Amino acid sequence: MSFTRRDFFKTGGVAALAVGATASGLVSGASASARTRPDIRWRGRPTPENVDPILHLLRRASFGPTRAELARAQRMGAEAWLEEQLNPDGIDDSDLESSIARRYETLAMTPPELQALDDFLRIRLELFAATLERAVYSKRQLLQMMVDYWSNHFSVYYFDGPLRLLKTVEDREVMRQYALSPFRDILGADAHSPAMLLYLDNASSAAEAPNENYAREIMELHTLGVDGGYTETDVQELARILTGWGVSRRTGAFAFSSRRHDWDAKTLLGLDFAAGRGQEEGERALDILASHESTSRHVAHRLCVRFVADDPPSGVVDAAASVFRASAGDMRAVLRTILTHEDFHASVGQKFRRPFELIGAAARTLEIPDARGASMSRALFQLGQPLFAWPTPDGYPDDAASWLNANALLARWNIGLALAEGCDRGALVSWDRFEAELGQNASAEETVDFFIDLVLHQTIHLDDRARLLVYLLGDDHAFDITDPEHRRRIPELTALLLDSPYFQWR
């Protein structure tokens, strides 16, 4: 009996991901038949038992391993690879950066230059494309992960008027410049960012009418956390401290307005601020917030949610917070603590790839030689995570439950199939190269194992492997990699692997 792609998706479709999700209590609603027919489900997903620790590190500290990068990390060892990534200035990424600078000229423009260009679509497409291409092709993978992390931590909504211009500058001068810097440095850079000051209305805040939006979010989201020990009065006082922090209409850069600043005495978190102080009292407030114990806990927890688990164990959070305090927010030290902690090593398969990570990982694992960022950006819109487009300042959710629903999963499967079948000429897989690696005499078993290794870099449950083998063979008992029907099934087989819980979870 022939086993078609439609049959595979009918039997392994909703269940393919739901088996991994329901096991963790994250989703419900799979069909009754899927629940009562365990034989049609994927049997497994990543676990500490079937995933090499170095593979786990690369799945979390990068946008996904390629075969070459995994082999290199295994030769170096986990510690050496991590240290290299924590010090990206020593990694030569000049070829990629030169290519991006040549093709996307708006990335280097100032606000007046961007305004004069008067081409918002080009500005957006170039920023989005470059962001995605860096995620896929940069050798500085942990840096790219942290750029994404801070862009979410200090989230601004790109489509909010002038932010269409200023986000390009913020991405260049804040997120990328300070991604691995001490926390106080990136907090300060963001506090001077015109994009943030306009998005949260601080640019219009004045002594006679302080605006509390930025003051509230900098404490609730960026530093102390919602339970960090501040009061409504602290919000009001911080808003007064930050009056005058705004944006120059002429240059689009940060500007402090002494005329709009509140020069009277203030008190923040029980600490007095004398009257007659200007911009420097805002800097002092940032010092206080960055060094506060609640900030160490809040930032450590959010980093552990990003790199460890949706509900990270207290052990790794405590360790990261302790290092944060002891090192004055040294991000390299904090990340080293998280990524070498025993709780991290035990967290295999506990993070569900958000769309940005999914697209980046798929392009990397399929070794697409020239994926265009514009094509990948369109896919992100379809998957519900367009870059910099979360409308509220808390950033895109970073938990599986927010991304696991029937519509989202169907979109993921469609994207995986479209990518594997070459539906977008901006992201073409080199199937001929893979077939050449296999050779014309490759057996069905060798072919299935080759693509399992290419996509997943790990072994899978024997029942899952057997089902893939049945799918590849179809009605035929003999396999011929040069046969058109078998060649047609190879991309579909790969799509099934991309859509499996082995790949969707990391």
* pLDDT tens-place values along the chain, 506 residues long: 444 544 544 444 434 443 343 333 222 233 323 222 223 368 888 988 889 999 999 999 999 999 999 999 999 999 999 999 999 999 999 999 999 999 999 999 999 999 999 999 999 999 999 999 999 999 999 999 999 999 999 999 999 888 999 999 999 999 999 999 999 999 999 999 999 999 999 999 999 999 999 999 999 999 999 999 999 999 999 999 999 999 999 999 999 999 999 999 999 999 999 999 999 999 999 999 999 999 999 999 999 999 999 999 999 999 999 999 999 999 999 999 999 999 999 999 999 999 999 999 999 999 999 999 998 999 999 999 999 999 999 999 999 999 999 999 999 999 999 999 888 888 999 999 999 999 999 999 999 999 999 999 999 999 999 999 999 988 767 899 988 888 889 999 999 999 999 999 99
Cβ neighbours of residue 69 closer than 8 Å, sequence gap 6 or more: 58, 62, 141
Residues 206 and 85 reside in one and the same domain: yes
- Sequence-ordered alpha helix ranges (H) in 43-89: 53-61, 67-76, 78-86
Residues 70, 168 share a domain:
no
- Which stretch of DSSP H or E encloses residue 175? none
Residue 326 domain-assigned (yes or no): no
Give strand pairing partners of 254. Answer: 247
For 52, the token pair is 């090499």
Q: Where is the domain boundary, 291, 318, 337?
A: 291
In a shared domain, residues 55 and 146: no
374 and 242 assigned to the same domain: no
Q: Into how many domains does the chain fold? A: 2
Angle at 177 between CA 174 and CA 181, to 5 degrees: 100
Looking at the structure, tell me whether residues 72 and 87 fall in a common domain: no
Shared domain for 282 and 161, answered yes or no, is yes
Residues 171 and 73 occupy one common structural domain: no
Residue 305 counted as domain residue: no
Contacts of the segment 381-387: beta carbons below 8 A, 24+ positions apart:
382/411, 382/414, 382/415, 383/355, 383/358, 383/359, 383/408, 383/411, 383/412, 383/415, 384/355, 384/408, 384/411, 385/354, 385/355, 385/356, 386/128, 387/127, 387/128, 387/131, 387/132, 387/158, 387/356
The Cα–Cα gap between 273 and 394 comes to 29
Q: Is residue 299 part of a domain?
A: no
Domain that includes residue 357, residue range: 5-77+351-504
Residues in the chain, overall count = 506
Do 235 and 101 sit in the same domain of this protein? yes
**Residues 6 or more apart whose Cβ sits within 8 Å of residue 91:** 84, 85, 139, 140
Phi, psi of 271 (to 5 degrees): -110, 135
Distance between CA atoms of 455 and 441, rounded to whole angstroms? 21
What percent of the chain has pLDDT above 70? 92
Task: List 268's β-bridge partners, or say none.
Answer: 271
CB 196 within 8 A of CB 213: no
Residue showing tokens 């600490």 = 271
Task: Please give the backbone phi and psi of residue 284, each rounded to the nearest 5 degrees, phi first.
Answer: -65, -40
* Residue 25: inside a domain: yes
Q: Cα(216)–Cα(231) distance, rounded to whole angstroms?
A: 10
Whether residues 58 and 119 share a domain: the answer is no
Q: Strands 266-268 and 271-273: what pairing?
A: antiparallel
Is the domain of 102 the same as that of 24?
no
CB 477 within 8 A of CB 444: no
Same domain, 275 and 392: no
d(CA 222, CA 153) in angstroms, rounded, equals 7
pLDDT of residue 161: 87
Note the pLDDT of residue 41.
60
Q: Which of 251, 266, 291 is the last residue of a domain?
A: 291
Q: How far apart are CA 352 and CA 383, in angstroms?
A: 14
